[in-house]
Chain A
Amino acid sequence: MNWQWFHRLGSPRWFYEKTTVWLPWLMLSAWGLLLIGGIWGLGFAPEDVKQRNSFRILYIHAPVAYISMSCYYIMAISGAVGLIWKMKLPFMVMKACAPIGLGLTIVVLATGSIWGKPTWGTWWEWDARLTSYLILSFLYLGAIALQQAFQNRDTADKASAILALVGTVNIPIIYKSVDWWYTLHQPATLKIVGKSTIDPSMLYPLFVMIIGFYLFFTLVLILHTRTEILRRESRTQWVKELVLANNSGKGEGASS
């Protein structure tokens, strides 16, 4: 079987040139959906019977939570691909995932906390979901710290990939343990984070936001990867030509 396409996928230059074409569309569609969904959720979706208007935070809280978890798996899978096939590009994607994931996780924790105060009267609650999610943010922190610690880029990449994979094995274990721990210590009062049935008129803006956020994640991941590509491949001819073209295009003259 001709695997050439797969190995071409691993070329940073190919990725950079291909994404240059996609980028405007991706930017438009992602931000378009995010703005439409945001305004829809803020102003046009009905308010919740119990939670009134603070329910609107769902539209920015839940989708970000989903992509923050997908981000971790993308990070781990890229790491695995890079380790197994010894390709450069997957490691660059993996490196881009860590700070994005951390930013998203912090936002989820913050918006969840802000949502919790008017709705359930508390900024924080040590229930299974919140606690496991907090631990996910620690995993991201560890990944970033490990990446920054190495001088040698190859070592940093491979070590980070190993850590990401070890973390992946642990995520379900951590979740199950914390879930079990919470049922053990569950207070006598009602469960704080309960599921409520959602009216369809509330679901549509949520879908828009979920799609918008996944597009956004793709956009941002590509943007960060491209910058990483330029940095790492700065000695190659095609990047040098890119710099030249970019700078002469600014009308500063080819020589001075």
Chain B
Amino acid sequence: MKFQFDSLADFMHMDGHGVFVWTAYGLVYGILIYLTVSPLIQKKNFLKQQKKWQQIQKDSSNL
């Protein structure tokens, strides 16, 4: 198994099909990253929001 291209420039160019291949790969990996990261961010926001809520409840019960 060997690397199929002669140089990095070749790798990017892909005999003229580079735009298509790299756009496609970029799209896919972009969505994959988004699908992985977005629930994690949502969870962080949820925890932050719940912390505020718990704080409010604690403060109101301390009155």
Which A residues are within 8 Å of any B CB, using their own CB?
Answer: 27, 31, 34, 38, 42-47, 52-54, 56-57, 60-61, 64, 100, 103-104, 106-107, 110-111, 114-115, 117-118, 201, 216, 219-220, 223-224, 226-227, 230-231, 234, 239-240, 242-244, 246-247, 255-256
Contact = CB atoms under 8 A, between A and B. Distances in A.
B14 A243 contact: no
B56 interface: no
A42 B21 contact: yes
Given A43-B3, A43-B5, A60 B35 contact: no
29 contacts: A34-B32, A42-B11, A42-B21, A42-B25, A43-B11, A44-B4, A53-B15, A54-B17, A54-B20, A54-B21, A56-B25, A57-B20, A57-B21, A60-B24, A104-B31, A110-B24, A114-B24, A201-B1, A216-B32, A219-B36, A223-B40, A226-B39, A226-B43, A227-B43, A230-B46, A240-B54, A243-B47, A255-B58, A256-B55
Interface string B21-55: 10111011101101110011011001100110011
B14 A60 contact: no
B4 A43 contact: yes
A233 to B, nearest CB: 11
A131 to B, nearest CB: 21
Contact of B2 (A44, A117, A219): A44
Nearest to B14: A53
Contacts of B55: 256
A107 B47 contact: no
Majority secondary structure of chain B interface residues (helix, strand, loop or mixed) = helix
A227 B31 contact: no
B24 A61 contact: yes
Contacts of B15: 47, 52-53
A243 B31 CA distance: 29
Contacts of B1: 44, 201
Contacts of A44: 1-4
Given A44-B1, A46-B4, A247-B47, A56 B32 contact: no
B11 to A, nearest CB: 6
Contacts of B20: 54, 57, 114-115, 117-118
A53 B23 CA distance: 13
Contact of B29 (A38, A46, A247): A38
Contacts of B36: 27, 31, 216, 219-220, 223
B38 to A, nearest CB: 8
A223 B39 contact: yes
